Structure 1
Amino acid sequence: MTEEKKQVTTDIVIIGGGTAGLTAAIYAVRAGKQVIVLEAKAYGGQIVNTPDIENYPGLAHVSGYDFATGLYQQAIDLGARFRYERALGIREDDEGKIVETRKREYHCKAVILATGAKNRTLGIEREEELTGKGVSYCATCDGSFFKGQDVAVNGGGNTALEDALYLADICNRVYLIHRRDQFRGDAADVEKLKQKNNVEFVLNSNVTGLIGSDKLTAVEVTDKISGEKRELPVSGLFVAIGQVPDNKAFADEVDLAPAGYIEAGEDCATRTPGIFTAGDCRTKTVRQLTTAAADGAVAALAACRYIGA
């Protein structure tokens, strides 16, 4: 016999507790709406692992943890309710939307999808096996375990550059592997890395193999131009090659782009009236803290207008 789910009623359900979701909660509660934020893991999203944020207006230096905690506490203090539950899907009834989790059904008038994105994997042999045994996707989470050792970072965007800078200060040597001949991240960070004597750029190269029995001892890289293979003796590999969204559970209610992001413009409205989206999970050209916060504000105000007074 299936256990009956508990019924909860609110004005707005926000799915995702990162920068976009928490900003949306702040704006919606200040507009006088009852808000519940559903988060499957932990508040803050991926920014919580960033040691130093330098590009958020008005905050020259702040840790990702402090930034996320400030947002979370502000939303809670204003009256938003936070639940650690994974949203399994959305359906509609005559009175509005129903967001379903494993134990509850949340009845609401509007939904904001702020699910963010998760780390992209290399997709090579033994990656899953060696994850946690030398392979990591978060340098600030796991970097301290490799203090004084040789490590590699794979990627060419801002996250990879930031990871390499962080690791260069605590590790013996850092190899920065990128599949192109130029980095996509901030030029200022590239220049900082060039000044580090213990950082080596390995460009036009892909990680093609993971070596080690019980733990990682080396990575194999292949030069894309010459085809030459090289082994880098490292005890840690930090993968920073982008993110993928987690929106499949909502595919019946919103349109998804080929890469899985929710189709929505700057108005943050999806094809379904009453369902909005914000942050890294939607189609956009720039994914930064500032754009996530902006999306959260736009989506919240749009949801409030949709609901009405």
Structure 2
Amino acid sequence: MMEKYDVIVIGAGPGGMTAALYASRANLSVLMIDRGIYGGQMNNTAEIENYPGFKSILGPDLAKKMYESSTNFGAKYAYGTVESVEDKGNTKIVKTDQDSYETSSVIIGTGSQYRKLGVPGEEEYSGKGVSYCAVCDGAFFKNREVVVVGGGDSAISEALYLAGIVAKVTVIHRRDQLRAQKVLQDRAFANDKIDFVWNTNVTEIMGDNMKVTGVKTVNNETNEEKTIDANGVFVYVGNNPVTDVFSNLNITDEKGWIKTNDRMETSVKGIFAIGDVRVKELRQVSTAVGDGGIAGQNAFEYVSSLK
């Protein structure tokens, strides 16, 4: 017999944990499922300065506090990779690589994953100098030189974090100006350990078969090619939604982002989506939390309508 829940939340990032909090506090039986530790990308964030209530807090610390709140009213947590969600009208079947569950409502908060450059050497040197998480791997490059690829908030935040560890950070950006928040830009421009290479794409990650030794680049205006020596390459060039497993539900756009209304409802009754996985402009911890609260409340109203 499959375990039954009123609500299953897929993904335990800030949105998923908030949804679990709201739904369980409304006296629904709730299960959160995640393929890793709770917190999502907060665990890869050195410092969060734009979440209300904290001037500054480490990402993993905020994740822990949210998890404690999310399970305070009885929501359960399970590890597992979701392999399918079947819509059977008033009942949904959620299958993972561990178990299968029956539920009245599903809240999808699987988020997004780092987009790769797709250049030669990236896969070969992944874990050997190529990284997508400065908090995870920055310490390996103490007093060495690294490259950060990207120009958004994540790229510049992690460049600043790395500057406190390494000897030099070279930020390579395909445009002539950053997209990061101005406060982050100002800090980066004022940091004498951080250099910038503009209008440039990385075309190859080089190594000696054991570790990264540098990158090949091309200026997208002049076509000038250069080689930049580096011991590590940190990639922050955007994100892709983690939604392949939901393709059978026909709830995504052509790029894989899930479409919802302002109640977080998808086109399938009883299935909601929240956070970074949604079609939206701003993907932040605060907006994911807002989505989660709305979805948790509306899941309660939906489940109540079935009884």
Q: Same fold (TM over 0.5)?
A: yes
Aligned equivalent of 1:249: 245
Contact 1:254 1:262 in 2 (8 A): no
Q: What is the aligned-residue RMSD (CA, Å)?
A: 1.1
Q: What aligned pairs does 1:267-278 form with structure 2 within 5 A after superposition?
A: 267-278=263-274
- How far is 1:253 from its partner? 1.6
Say how many residue pairs are matched.
304
- How far is 1:11 from its partner? 0.5
Q: What aligned pairs does 1:43-82 form with structure 2 within 5 A after superposition?
A: 43-82=38-77
**CA deviation vs aligned residue, 1:210-241 (integer Å, no higher than 9, x gap):** 11122101111111001111111100000011
Contact 1:204 1:225 in 2 (8 A): yes
2:197 pairs with 1:202: yes
Distance 2:252 2:5 in 1: 27
Q: Read off the aligned partner of 1:274 and give its amino acid letter.
A: G
Contact 2:46 2:158 in 1 (8 A): no
**CA deviation vs aligned residue, 1:265-287 (integer Å, no higher than 9, x gap):** 32211000000000000100110
Distance 1:103 1:67 in 2: 28
| Partner of residue 174 from structure 2, selected from 176, 179, 203 | 179
| Partner of residue 12 from structure 1, selected from 7, 27, 34 | 7
2:180 pairs with 1:189: no
Q: 1:222 to 1:296 in 2, by over 3 A?
A: same
Q: What aligned pairs does 1:27-42 form with structure 2 within 5 A after superposition?
A: 27-42=22-37
- How far is 1:113 from its partner? 0.4
- How far is 1:209 from its partner? 1.1
Distance 1:10 1:27 in 2: 15
Distance 2:244 2:193 in 1: 42
Q: What aligned pairs does 1:77-92 form with structure 2 within 5 A after superposition?
A: 77-92=72-87
- How far is 1:94 from its partner? 5.8
- How far is 1:92 from its partner? 2.9
TM-score, reference length from structure 2: 0.96
TM-score, reference length from structure 1: 0.96
Aligned equivalent of 1:238: 234
Contact 1:254 1:270 in 2 (8 A): no
Give unpaired runs (5+ residues) of structure 1: 1-5
- How far is 1:95 from its partner? 4.8
2:106 pairs with 1:111: yes
Identity of aligned residues (%): 38
Give unpaired runs (5+ residues) of structure 2: none
| Partner of residue 92 from structure 2, selected from 94, 97, 115 | 97
